[in-house]
Copies of this chain bind each other. A is one copy, B any other.
C-alpha cells in the first residue's frame, strides 16, 4: 500500500500577485482547470495500483480551502493535518508519519509537495514503482530529476555509485544548494547531478526511526503535539511551541544523515513552479513566445508572460521578455529574468502591513 502525503505548506511569494499569503500558489490554477493541489492529489492517486487516499499537511489557515478543493475532485482525504506555522518539511513530515503510525500496517509513504507540476504520468508511475520497491526494502528514497538544463532556481542532488540492488537508482552523495550558472553548467555536464525534487518514499516505521535518531527533540515535541491534537486539546501554548521548532528540511535534517538512502532518477518533465518564468515555460505560447490571455494583442512583442482577469483586454506593443500579472487589486511588471526578485518586494509589503501582499 502506498500512502501519499501531500505537503501543502509555503506561500509561493515569488508568484505574487496571484499567489497570496492567504491564498498560496498550490491552491491556484496555472495551466488548465485544476489547482496544483488537485493535480498533485490526482497524480498521487494514479501513480500505483494500490494507493490510499492522500493525507494532507497544511497551514491551519488553509484547512477549508484544502478540504473544498479535494471535495471538488470527489476525493475524501485520509486526513488533513494542520500546522500552526510553517517550519519547513521535517516537522510536517513527522506529523504525517505519527498519524500513519496509528493505523494498521506499515505503508510506504510517498511525500510530495502540493505545488509541483509533473508532465508524463507514465514516466512518473515507472519511477514511483522503482522507488516503492526500494522503500519496501528499507531504503529512504528520493527522486532526482534528470536536468533539462543548467537551472539555477533548483537545488541539486549529487549522486554516488549504483545500488547493489541494481536498477537505475543511485546512492546519495549530497544535497547541494541552488548553484550559480557556471556551477549549474558544470553539474549538468558531469552527469552526476540531478534536480532535487523534494519527493520522498519510505516506510512509515523507517522514517520514524530515522527521526528518533537524528531529530530526537523534534520527535518528542511533535509526539506531544500529535497526542494533544488527537485528543482535541491542542492549546495555544502547544501551538506556540510548534512555532518555536527549528525550521528543518527533510533533506538536511534526515536524508543526509542516514546511510541507506537511494536516489531514483526521474526523466519526466517537472517544475516546482518557482517563479513566473516557470509559469511561462509551462504555458502554451503563441508563435512569438508570448503567453497571452484570450483576445490579448501582442504587436512586435515576444517572449512575454501575461496573466489578467477574465475579460480584460491586454495590449503589448514593442515589449519583450516581460512578466505582466494583473491580479485585480495588484499589478506586477518585471523582466522574466528578474522574476525571482518579486519575493523581495512581497517581503517589503509585509513590512508595511499591506493587505495586498
Contact = CB atoms under 8 A, between A and B. Distances in A.
A314 to B, nearest CB: 5
Interface in A165-186: none
Nearest to A346: B315
27 contacts: A17-B315, A295-B354, A299-B341, A299-B345, A308-B331, A311-B329, A312-B329, A313-B349, A313-B356, A314-B331, A314-B333, A315-B330, A315-B331, A315-B332, A315-B345, A316-B334, A317-B338, A317-B341, A317-B345, A318-B334, A318-B335, A318-B338, A318-B341, A319-B322, A319-B335, A324-B331, A326-B331
A74 B106 CA distance: 82
Contacts of A341: 299, 317-318
B17 A313 contact: yes
Given A313-B354, A313-B356, A354-B313, A319 B333 contact: yes
Interface residues of A, number: 33
Interface string A287-327: 00000000101010000000010011111111100101010
Given A297-B348, A299-B345, A345-B299, A324 B318 contact: no
Number of copies of chain A assembled together: 2
A290 to B, nearest CB: 12
Nearest to A323: B317
A313 B308 CA distance: 14
